[in-house]
Amino acid sequence: MFDNPPMRSSKKSDRLFRLGWAIAPLLALTSTAGIAARPAPELGSLRAQFPSSTIDSVERADAALAATAGAKGQVEKGYKSDSRGCMTTFMVNDCLDKARELQRKRLSEIDGVELEANRFKRKDHADKLDADRARRESERVAGQKADTEQRSRNRQSYDEKQTRAKRDAAAAAESAKNRKPTAKKPPVPVPATEAAQRAKNAAGYTTKVTEARTHQQEIARRIAAKDADRKRRGEEKAAKDAKTAATVRP
């Protein structure tokens, strides 16, 4: 007469179980719909722009590093957006796992380009250092060689001058040794008129010296007399001024 309650509950659970299996694939699709809609940047896009082994200049390496810096920012924004989208899905954890995996792949591609660009810049810097070191060493060797050659030329020139001087001195000594002594000529007698003129000139010079000395003494005497007179007038004026000051004083 009455339905069996446990039987009805069993049938209802069975229907719900079959319904869950039917909609599970749809829920899985909706959990990744937000991720697939925002591929920023697309996987492979940065590597397509900078293929492997094509970073062959500092300018291209700098461009690659600038692109990777911007791409990392886009990946971070994309991951945050995907994570927020996962919060509205039924299978949140599965959606977040897929978002993290997509972020990892994108960052791995970016890191590969960044690593290659940095490797090229390090090699370029090392090559420039080696080239500069080689240039300075070459300049040092060339300068040392030029200095050695110049010292050699200076030494050779000095030795030649010394040899020439010794040869000239030896030749002069040999010439003096072989030169015959010449007889001394008797002194030429001085005429009487010339001797008298010389005596007259000597006497005139002595007279001029005496007159000059007398003139200097006269000048010194006059200067002394003027100084004594100037001193006397000064003393008289000082005495007069002192007398006037004593008279005026009350």
pLDDT range class, residue 40, cuts 50, 70, 90: low
**Owner of token pair 């006037």:** 244
Q: What is the dihedral sign for C-alpha 47, 53, 56, 58?
A: positive
Phi, psi of 184 (to 5 degrees): -75, 135
pLDDT at 7 over 80: no
Q: What band does 183 get if pLDDT is binned at 50, 70 and 90?
A: low
pLDDT in tens, 113-149: 999 999 999 999 999 999 999 999 988 988 888 888 8
230 CB-side CA count, 13 A = 6
9-21: average pLDDT: 45
pLDDT of residue 175: 80
Return the half-sphere exposure (C-beta side, CA atoms, 13 A cut-off) of residue 76: 6
Give me the percent of the chain exceeding a pLDDT of 90.
Answer: 17
Distance CA 39, CA 109 (A): 14
How confident is the model at residue 5, as a pLDDT?
44
DSSP 43-89: TTHHHHHS-TT---SHHHHHHHHHHHHHHHHHHHHHHHHHHHHHTTS
Query: For position 54, what pLDDT does the model report?
Result: 86
- Measure the CA–CA gap between 137 and 208, rounded to whole angstroms: 81
Q: Which residue has the higher pLDDT, 42 or 7?
A: 42
Mean pLDDT (whole number) for 69-91: 88
172 residue type, one letter: A
Lowest mean pLDDT among 86-95, 124-133, 153-162, 185-194: 185-194
Higher pLDDT, 182 or 121: 121
| Long-range Cβ pairs for the range 97-101 (8 Å, 24+) | 98/31, 98/32, 98/35, 99/35
Residue 85 in contact with residue 95, Cβ under 8 Å? yes
